[in-house]
Amino acid sequence: MVWRRVQVPSTMTLREFHGVLQVAMGWESIHLYQFIIHTARYGSWETSARSPDIRLGDLKLRKGSRFLYEYDLNIPWAHEVRLEGRRPVGAEFRHPVCTGGVGNCPQEDCGGPEGWM
C-alpha cells in the first residue's frame, strides 16, 4: 500500500488539491482527473464534471469523511482521500506540507495498477 499524509489549508480549492496530490505522487498532471464527493463529481472539464474551483472548506466535510480521487481516467488510478482532522490554522500556515507516507509511488504512465504490479 502506498499512502501520503498532507496538511492543506481549507481555503485550497479542489483544483489546487489535485496539484498537491500530483506532487505527492511524483506525477506530472498530464491526464484527466476527478473527485467524487458524496454523489457529485468535480474535475477536468472534459469529463463533464463540476468545476474543481470549490474550496475544501466549502464542502462541509467532517473528520473521518472519505472521498475518491481518480486520475488517468482511462486506467484509472483510484485514491481514497480521508479527512483525519482539522487544526486551527495560524498565519504561518500558507502552503501544503507532506507530514508522512509509506511506499514508493508508481511512475506515471506505467500501465495503471496492473502494469505497476
Of the two residues 87 and 25, the one the predictor is more confident about is 25
pTM comes to: 0.90
For every residue of 17-57, DSSP letters joined together read: HHHHHHHHHT----S-EEEEETTEEEE-GGGTPBPS-SBGG
pLDDT of residue 116: 77
Report DSSP state, residue 101: E
Q: What does pLDDT average to over the chain? A: 89
Q: What is the pLDDT of residues 28-50, one digit of tens each?
A: 999 999 999 999 999 998 989 99
Fold of 3-116: 3.10.290
User: What are the beta bridge partners of residue 43?
Assistant: 34
Q: What is the pLDDT of residues 89-103, one digit of tens each?
A: 665 667 898 999 998
**Nearest Cα to Cα of residue 76 among 113, 48, 105:** 113
Distance of CA 34 to CAs 16, 31, 93, 94, Å?
12, 10, 26, 24
